[in-house]
Amino acid sequence: MSMKNRLISPSLLSADFANLKSDIEMLNTSEADWIHLDVMDGVFVPNISFGFPVIEAVHKYAKKPLDVHLMIVEPQKFIKELKAAGTYMMNVHYETCTHLHRTIQQIKAEGMKAGVTLNPHTPVALLEDIVCDVDMVLLMSVNPGFAGQEFIENTYQKVVQLKELIARKNSNALIQVDGGVNYDTAKKLFDCGADILVSGNFIFNSENPKEVICRLKNV
């Protein structure tokens, strides 16, 4: 698995759910690195998306690693189910995990990569004691729960702060950003030190999604 910089993880939340297989096959032949799946419970975020049956169905056809972002309360309850569904990266919210270190260890024990997500208002400094244990940190650049929101400008500064923290702690964690990603924000985010960008509407609502993915990787 290549962990080089400039990875793109298209978000299936913006795909055509009535033609999900064809959208997955499009991503398989694109330059996308991962496939991002947002699981929402209507409790932690004010929306509901999809659960394990859909993840399993995606895994059946996907040739890219599944990057699963859990916007749910008590994500630690579903570690074994997510592994069984074919998850590569299991990503939990800092705000929902009382025992974050234990949850990260349990995810890794199942053989998955472990990520932690910060909401826009959550400071990077709170990761001081966990950043060496995670494989990835996802910074939300919009408020989680709905696609198509406007990018929060403070995210650039958070990427820089996180990059500094990762370097100071000798962590290998990758930096992922999700929300409002387009050519302009993608370039700035990569320049600030982001490794992986999640993009949904900007890719799937375009006339040529594969070309958009290619251009995002090379902004």
Q: Taking residues 75-97, report their average pLDDT.
A: 98
Q: Is 38 a catalytic residue?
A: yes
Task: Catalogue all structural domains in the chain, each as residue range(s) with its CATH number.
Answer: 7-217 (3.20.20.70)
Catalytic residue among 23, 67, 178, 195: 178
pLDDT tens column, 162-200: 999 999 999 999 999 999 999 999 999 999 999 999 999
The gap from C-alpha 27 to its chain's centroid, in whole angstroms, comes to: 16
Q: What is the pLDDT of residue 147?
A: 67
Q: What is the pLDDT of residue 3?
A: 39
Percent of the chain whose predicted confidence (pLDDT) is above 70: 97
Query: Where are the extended beta strands (E) located within 162-215?
Result: 174-178, 196-199
- Encoding tokens for residue 104? 């990260």
Q: What pTM did the predictor assign?
A: 0.95
Handedness of CA 99, 104, 105, 111 (dihedral sign): positive
| CA nearest neighbour of 21 among 35, 9, 8 | 35
Rounded to 10°, the helix 209-217/183-192 angle is 30
The CA-CA-CA angle for residues 39, 114, 174, to 5°, reads: 105
- Summary mean pLDDT of the chain: 95
Q: Is 178 a catalytic residue?
A: yes
Place 145 in a pLDDT band, splitting at 50, 70 and 90. confident
Q: Taking residues 138-152, report their average pLDDT.
A: 86
Is residue 114 left, alpha or beta, with left meaning phi > 0 and alpha meaning psi from -120 to 50? beta
